[in-house]
Amino acid sequence: MSMHGGGGGGMRSMRRDRTILEHRIKKGTLPRMLKFATQYRTMLIIFLTAVVLDAIVSSISPLILREIIDKGIYGHHHLSHREHLIIGLSLLTAGLAIFEALLSLAQRRISAVIGEGLIYDLRAKVFGHIQEMPIAFFSRTQTGALISRLNNDVIGAQQAFTDLFSNVVGNVILTAIVIGTMFVLSWQVTIVALILVPIFLIPARRVGRKLGTLFQRGMELNAEMNMVMTERFNVSGAMLVKLFGRPQDELSYFEGRAGQVRDIGIRQSTYQRFFFIALSLTASLATAFAYGFGGVAAVRGTLMVGTVVALTLYLARLYGPLTALSNLNIDYMSAMVSFERLFEVLDLKPMIQESPHAVVIPDGPADLIFDHVDFSYPGAEEVSLASLEAVARLDDTPRTDVLHDVSFRVAPGTVTALVGHSGAGKTTLSMLVSRLYDADRGSVTINGIDVREATTASLNAMVGVVTQDPHLFHDTLRANLIFAKPEATDEEIAVALRSAQIWDLVASLPLGLATVVGERGYRLSGGEKQRVALARLLLKAPRLVVLDEATAHLDAESEAAVQRALDETMSTRTSLVIAHRLSTIRNADQILVVENGAIIQRGSHAELFIEGGVYRDLYETQFAGQEH
């Protein structure tokens, strides 16, 4: 085995950019958002009921304390009566505290069930939908942008959704109860307290807007920093940096991004502290007034001492809910934007879909026919989103034909080789067989069934593909092999490995099939990785094999081993091979010469060599040297 070297609601609102308010939400977003929550309808009702009860219970405590002070401590009843009253009210306070604690625990539990369930539902739906997207989608989209949708946007949608419900209901109820009770206790203190609200809210909203802008920019810089790490920490990126001797430049580049994140973090912390200081200062001013006005009134006998204490407690509970409600529009828009970004992905229709009337491809030796096939790669607007490509707008370059009127047949049990210059259209032809793309005109049929009308399962079972650079997951050899056939037995795996000429190597490893191959199989040499991919293909046992230059870029020894495995693979199957080696061409039953997306020559090696033309030139420039 060759080893390559190195093998609270108010504060949350402050974090939203005010520009979100200027965004125009697409029609129908709210109903679709609510539809996701319908399965949690019962739990939502229980949750909102608990929120309302919590608001009511938390507003009772100051009144109980008022009774303890006014009627218990300063009351005119008999001492024993006052003692019993104080003890009873204290026990009631303790009981309410326990009840409130249990209520808070229940709220948190229910909120977690709803929130995590919503995250699961959204992630599963988006992930499943992305899996259905054509290969053209993945060739254009930034991986980091997709991951962000499944992480940041899903969590943002969930938080905004649950917080929105609890903030609206809980804060409205609490604010109404607090203000109403304060008016009953002392309308003068209440009016002054409400006058002080704008003094706090106006600067707080300005700070919130600034915080939102900083938060958004911080997210963007964090995403850029994460992208740098993702690209540099995978094996290919790390190797490129080392080979070109650029580690210091990369460190400087990363430090620049990390430095910007640091600077914004400092500014965020400063603004957040200012926000909390403003809140505390306003509450302190209101409390000072309540004690001053209330204390004088208590001395004069126009206001009870317990009432003064209750008013100060209510003031402490007033500003938080008012702040959260003042940013309600931002909360709502945040939820809408998060869901809209997810729906944007879900609304992108997969170009390759199973037909509603799909049929199973008949089993048996595969008969592959291309019938007057034309093809052009889809435009960006058909398969992608600008936001997933990190561009202002999608590329609007018009589609141009890649394949022109291609017709040929690969008879059952035969080998057809495709040859031609780079970019001639050979790989594109192979992609149409496995339906990574669909033909624009004409048809590709297997055993008489157009692949566009075949069931996905039967097409996948019929066709097996090995590419020039096969992908292996960062997992064990066994896991990579049984990806083709999860129910495969050890005996079946051993047979496939022997046929792929790699059993001796696997058997010699200390951990055998439990050996981890590393990211993209980088702990294996090129030839070993190719043979593992061939073993995986053989385990799948397809009737039709598509090989895209499977021996390219290998050393002579590895190529010889892989070629023996290929011969084993093709001996009993229908094969379409993008040729790289002379032996493949000579043994082929049919050779197709592809030039500018069209087949310009066809026949056996001997026939085409005599005929001359492009094939003769290709042979003399690419293959003749292999005879020596």
Distance, in Å, from the CA atom of 3 to the CA atom of 509, rounded to the nearest integer, reads: 12
Nearest residue to 542 (alpha-carbon basis) of 565, 567, 575, 566: 575
Where are the domain boundaries for CATH 3.40.50.300 in the chain? Answer: 370-627
- The widest CA-to-CA distance across the chain, in whole angstroms, is 125
Q: What are phi and psi of 161, to 5 degrees?
A: -65, -55
Question: pLDDT per residue over 200-248, tens digit each?
Answer: 666 666 666 666 566 666 666 766 677 777 667 766 677 667 666 777 7
pLDDT given for residue 458 in this prediction: 93
Nearest residue to 54 (alpha-carbon basis) of 93, 96, 13, 94: 96
Q: Which two tokens stand for residue 231?
A: 């690209």
Q: Where are the beta strands (DSSP E) in 491-543?
A: none
CATH topology assigned to domain 370-627: Rossmann fold (3.40.50)
CA 70 to chain centre: 59
- Sites in the chain below the pLDDT cut of 50: 1-22, 392, 628
Distance, in Å, from the CA atom of 205 to the CA atom of 76, rounded to the nearest integer, reads: 48
Given a contact cutoff of 8 angstroms between Cβ atoms, the answer to whether 65 and 107 are in contact is no
Distance, in Å, from the CA atom of 52 to the CA atom of 100, rounded to the nearest integer, reads: 11
Please list, in sequence order, all residues whose beta carbon lies within 8 angstroms of the beta carbon of residue 463, skipping any fewer than 6 positions away.
Answer: 366, 433, 434, 446, 542, 543, 544, 545, 546
pLDDT given for residue 326 in this prediction: 64
Q: Which helix (H) or strand (E) holds 58?
A: helix 41-67
pLDDT given for residue 394 in this prediction: 63
Given a contact cutoff of 8 angstroms between Cβ atoms, the answer to whether 346 and 125 are in contact is yes
Please list, in sequence order, all residues whose beta carbon lies within 8 angstroms of the beta carbon of residue 435, skipping any fewer than 6 positions away.
Answer: 352, 451, 452, 459
CATH topology assigned to domain 9-346: ABC transporter transmembrane region fold (1.20.1560)
Given a contact cutoff of 8 angstroms between Cβ atoms, the answer to whether 309 and 65 are in contact is yes
CA 576 to chain centre: 36
Where are the domain boundaries for CATH 1.20.1560.10 in the chain? Answer: 9-346
State the pTM of this model.
0.71
Distance, in Å, from the CA atom of 220 to the CA atom of 315, rounded to the nearest integer, reads: 39
3-state secondary structure 134-179: CHHHHHHCCHHHHHHHHHHHHHHHHHHHHHHHHHHHHHHHHHHHHH
* Proportion of the chain above pLDDT 70, given as a percent: 79
Nearest residue to 525 (alpha-carbon basis) of 495, 569, 561: 561
